[in-house]
Structure 1
Amino acid sequence: MAGVSKAPELRVIVVGKTGGGKSATGNTILGEEKFVSDVSPNSVTRKCEKKEGDFRGRKITVVDTPGYFDPDRGNKETSRIIRDSVEVLDPGFHAIVLVLKLDRFTPEEKAVADEVQRILKVKARDYTILLFTRKEDLRGRPLTSFLAKANEDLKGVVAFCGNRYLAFNNLATGAEREAQVAELIEMIDKMRQVNPNAPLYTREMFKEDSLFDCCTLL
């Protein structure tokens, strides 16, 4: 890729709603069942978990986070844990992957997106990718056809993420799974190309973002 060399290692954090497919997405990226993924009304991921894998010779580190709207934990507590995860993967992340289920954009999904945007307000916008799970529900239709019918709230989330979006079928294996991960990695590398002097979202950037909403971490 012109203008920037490929990072020998990619660091990714996955955030989203409980039951939205965060852990399954992490497993798809890594190509192994490294995170516990199960159908449950409560968040299976209770704290930040870091797992490592390899994709076509590149090391990939994924941090899975507890989900928002967990009946056992408030959203502010989840935001604190996400804040702490920035230190788990020092010196930072190449990408923040916001996971949403490919479905009707409900008020709860909007609240999750609003909360993520609230704690990742300014600098993080340059590192955030919107990833829809349940790609299989498109039944071969392009993702753009789904988004063309989206309401203004969802379109606002897409804009916040710099119009960087894709969809995963987390049941996919083999070539289909590889193609999905390759698409995500290419998107991350393009983000690095746009901002080659600051390829990572760092603790310092997070602290700067937090200044715009001093109540977030109280």
Structure 2
Amino acid sequence: MAAAPIPGEWTETVRTSGPPEILLSLCLGGSCLCGEMSDIRLVLVGKTGVGKSSSGNTILGRSAFRADVSQSSVSKECCKQQDKLFSRMVSVIDTPGLFDTSLPEPAVKREISKCINMSAPGPHAILLVIKAGRFTEEERDAVKKVEEIFGEDAWRYTMVLFTHRDEVRSDFHQMLEQVGPELKEILKKVGNRYHVFNNLKADDRGQVLDLLEKVEKMVAGNGGQFYSNYTYQQVVEMLDQRESQIREFYQKKLEQKIKIILQKNVVKV
């Protein structure tokens, strides 16, 4: 028997009998009380150029997100697309703006807010997209940013999604045994959960079904919980506070300069 929801919280419930209807409502507690997963929300994170958008297209089986060789021409705004796949309604949120180092902080804050709204009441899985092969410094920075944005607790809901499987000539499991300590540490943080995509074979639906089944297994391991958007909101509040502190800092600097100028003018007189 499912536990009763805590007063003041919303829950997500899926009917397992009658019409295939999903009853959704916003939930800060992150509770998913359901018999089967009929609704899956995925957030793609990772540095620019690792194949986030292409992976979103592979999952949905269509050109849902713009994936371009020229990074300057790719949208830097978070985007959500969804489709019914294997009897599940799957929502995919692509987050290019969260990891774009060229974007100013106010723009990043807007993108975090968008991501909150698009993935409400919270994603079932955060897919950390990493290009198979060499683990670069940029990817290390992106991983740090994931923790900054989503919080340490997010690792429970995170799975590494390796892309560019076609570029790995050796056995993939053997390759993982040879990776550096930093990538091994990331895999340890996510409970060694990972999946591998070959986005050049987007018509291979087996790799997508395997991913969704791994996500469902992870959610079950988390007691049916999805990632709460409460941490998201804390990040936005923190950025608001930082913005206010920066304004206050420069305001004080300006006042000091004005004071010095006025004092100089008084001395001249």
Whether TM-score is above 0.5 comes out as yes
Structure 2 residue corresponding to 1:137, chosen from 163, 167, 174: 167
State how many pairs are aligned: 209
The percentage of counterpart residues that share the same residue type is 35
Deviation at 1:80, TM superposition (A): 5.4
Name 2:192's counterpart in structure 1.
Answer: 163
TM-score normalized by structure 1? 0.84
Distance 2:181 2:108 in 1: 26
Name 1:25's counterpart in structure 2.
Answer: 55
Q: Secondary structure at the match of 1:171?
A: helix
* 2:87 equivalent to 1:57: yes
Name 2:4's counterpart in structure 1.
Answer: none
Deviation at 1:197, TM superposition (A): 4.4
- In structure 2, relative to structure 1, the CA distance for the partners of 1:137 and 1:75 (3 Å cut) is farther
Distance 2:222 2:145 in 1: 25
- 2:163, 2:196 within 8 Å by CA — same for their partners in 1? yes
Query: Structure 1 residues 37-46 or 18-27, which shifts more?
Result: 37-46
- In structure 2, relative to structure 1, the CA distance for the partners of 1:49 and 1:109 (3 Å cut) is same
Q: Secondary structure at the match of 1:179?
A: helix
Structure 1 residue corresponding to 2:212, chosen from 185, 192, 196: 185
Deviation at 1:11, TM superposition (A): 0.7
- 1:134, 1:168 within 8 Å by CA — same for their partners in 2? yes
TM-score normalized by structure 2? 0.69
- 2:50, 2:130 within 8 Å by CA — same for their partners in 1? yes
- In structure 2, relative to structure 1, the CA distance for the partners of 1:50 and 1:112 (3 Å cut) is same
- In structure 2, relative to structure 1, the CA distance for the partners of 1:158 and 1:80 (3 Å cut) is farther
Distance 2:42 2:228 in 1: 12
Higher helix share: 2
By relative contact order (CA 8 Å, sep 6+), the higher-ranking structure is: 1
Q: Flag the structure with larger Rg.
A: 2
Deviation at 1:63, TM superposition (A): 0.7
Structure 1 residue corresponding to 2:138, chosen from 90, 93, 108: 108
Q: Which runs of 5+ in 1 are unaligned?
A: none
Deviation at 1:215, TM superposition (A): 6.3
Distance 2:155 2:132 in 1: 21
- 1:48, 1:65 within 8 Å by CA — same for their partners in 2? yes
Q: Which ranges of 4 or more aligned residues in structure 1 deviate by more than 4 Å?
A: 74-77, 213-217
Deviation at 1:161, TM superposition (A): 1.8
Distance 1:92 1:48 in 2: 15
Name 1:46's counterpart in structure 2.
Answer: 76
Q: Which runs of 5+ in 2 are unaligned?
A: 1-33, 243-269
Q: Secondary structure at the match of 2:159?
A: strand
Q: Secondary structure at the match of 2:144?
A: helix
Q: What amino acid does structure 2 have at the position aligned with 1:179? A: G
Which aligned pairs between 1:58-137 and structure 2 lie closer than 5 A? Answer: 58-66=88-96, 70=100, 72-74=102-104, 77-78=107-108, 81-137=111-167
Name 2:259's counterpart in structure 1.
Answer: none
- In structure 2, relative to structure 1, the CA distance for the partners of 1:50 and 1:173 (3 Å cut) is closer
Q: Secondary structure at the match of 1:82?
A: helix
